[in-house]
Structure 1
Amino acid sequence: MRLRNNPEALDHLKDHGDIVYINPEGMKGKWHSCFESQDAPLYIEIGMGKGDFILENARRYPDINFIGMEKFTTVLDKALKKALKEGMPKNLIFLKDDAVRLPELFENGELDRIYLNFSDPWPKSRHAKRRLTYPSFLELYKNALKKQGEMIFKTDNRNLFEYSLVTFANNGFVFEDVCLDLHHQEGYEDNIQTEYERKFSKNGPIYRLAVRVKGEENG
């Protein structure tokens, strides 16, 4: 369920411009400069929601720099408030923007990993182009990722999962891992759950894909 719009959210985000970038210009190729450790790998979650996943990642992996990207103002403000209350990790910043603007936001090869967690499945065929694993989006990710860069995709929607298997395979990615029941399969004990994942995993399996950009080393 989408949050009711908070008219004060944008002003609150602007008050924290040191950690929240709102539709930024001139940052392309310069995101590493936002962090103390400028040589660390750079990971981004696209559509981070209320931020549980990216916050826990930043805490657990201090030697990696993280960007939490969310296009909805009120949702991002919820994540910001949570981070400020719990303590904002120094290796995390927030970005208010849309995935369609990745070419304007990131230099080719600037990212090491992209997370897509529980994206809107857009189940109707006429809306397929809006799915974040549609081929046109995959091209944006490939350009933003380094050679051999990685994507981690999680969903509880079987149809979106099967659709994404095909689009990743046909658009320049190779599979590193395919999991059909994340919460009941050995080897995934370090899985960090999203708020949505904790709430709805009881309703059925969680599917997970790990893929890399196809390159010389993996054909």
Structure 2
Amino acid sequence: MDKRTSSHDRVIAQRQTEGWMFLAEALRDLRTTGAVAPSGKALARALTEPVLAQSAYPLAVLEAGAGTGPVTRALIPQLSRGSRLDIVEANPRFARRLNKIVAAHPSLMGPAGRALVHQSLVEEFETPHLYDVIVSGLPLTNFAPDQVERIMNRFMQLLHPGGTLTYFAYLGTRRARSLTASRSESRRHAAVDEVMAGFQRTYAVKRSTVWANLPPAHVWHLQRPLVPADAPLAPRPEEARR
């Protein structure tokens, strides 16, 4: 067996292990896991596109809701030396696995760059840092509307001006829920959609569709403005001299 075959077999075994682990957590609590399978490679590429576009520079990146780490593994090779990666994951079993992924990539460790896993809810995550890119794998459509609003506001607070938030939403979830959910659950889902639509109208700069994922998903890019919309205008030079 050559090295390439051995490496390929290890990757297949790793994906199978992660798939079963993800399924077990979904069966334990589908509301917070959000799916029955990890994000596919095409979805991971779309979510990390803003990182790849700036990969020549050291970046500060936050990944929220990393799960078993399929997007984490796509992120790490794109980060230049000196970058910072903070990974926030509330599930303790997922967090332990993410620590193993980070430990296997020592290039990010040390004084020039850091990669840290934080077991926490993202809305409770405290940090002095701002981020160039935030990548979210959180199943927002499964949460209460007020929690979604807190999470999205926290994301925008944590971005540098001009920074980008990426997240995904599975296609067809509203129709599927309308066929199976209770009336109160349908109202909750509609309220979450309304919260997300407000953020999209204010901050969205791009939406793409990833068909090569199970299930297919929209990927949204939201950008924190360089200048707040309600910021006062700077005085004209002649006014400043008065």
TM-score, with structure 2 as normaliser: 0.54
The alignment yields a C-alpha RMSD, in angstroms, of: 3.2
Residue identity in the other structure for 2:198 = T
For residue 94 of structure 1, the aligned residue among 94, 117, 141 is 117
1:182 is aligned to 210
For the pair 1:208 / 2:219, whether they are aligned, the reply is yes
CA contact (8 A) 1:177 1:211 kept: yes
CA contact (8 A) 2:205 2:223 kept: yes
Larger Rg: 1 or 2? 2
Residue identity in the other structure for 1:166 = A
Residue identity in the other structure for 1:48 = A
2:136 is aligned to 116
1:129 is aligned to 146
CA shift at 1:215, angstroms?
A: 3.6
The secondary structure found in structure 2 opposite 1:129 is: helix
Report the Cα distance in structure 2 between the residues aligned to 1:218 and 1:137, rounded to whole angstroms: 21
The secondary structure found in structure 1 opposite 2:80 is: coil
The secondary structure found in structure 1 opposite 2:141 is: coil
CA contact (8 A) 2:169 2:217 kept: yes
Report the Cα distance in structure 1 between the residues aligned to 2:61 and 2:193, rounded to whole angstroms: 25
Report % sequence identity. Answer: 8
CA contact (8 A) 1:59 1:89 kept: no
CA shift at 1:42, angstroms?
A: 0.6
2:67 is aligned to 49
For residue 84 of structure 2, the aligned residue among 56, 65, 69 is 65
Report the Cα distance in structure 1 between the residues aligned to 2:171 and 2:138, rounded to whole angstroms: 8
Report the Cα distance in structure 2 between the residues aligned to 1:174 and 1:120, rounded to whole angstroms: 17
For residue 200 of structure 2, the aligned residue among 149, 155, 169 is 169
Unmatched tracts of structure 1, length 5 or more: 6-38, 185-200
1:198 is aligned to none
TM-score, with structure 1 as normaliser: 0.59
The secondary structure found in structure 1 opposite 2:160 is: strand
Report the Cα distance in structure 2 between the residues aligned to 1:118 and 1:96, rounded to whole angstroms: 14
2:18 is aligned to none
For the pair 1:141 / 2:160, whether they are aligned, the reply is no
Alignment of 1:21-60 (within 5 A): 40-60=58-78
1:24 is aligned to none
Residue identity in the other structure for 2:91 = F
CA shift at 1:88, angstroms?
A: 4.4
CA shift at 1:162, angstroms?
A: 5.0
The secondary structure found in structure 1 opposite 2:142 is: coil
CA shift at 1:118, angstroms?
A: 4.9
Residue identity in the other structure for 1:96 = Q
1:75 is aligned to 94
Report the Cα distance in structure 2 between the residues aligned to 1:183 and 1:89, rounded to whole angstroms: 33
Residue identity in the other structure for 1:106 = T
CA contact (8 A) 1:117 1:155 kept: no
Unmatched tracts of structure 2, length 5 or more: 1-22, 29-56, 109-113, 175-188, 231-242
2:166 is aligned to 152
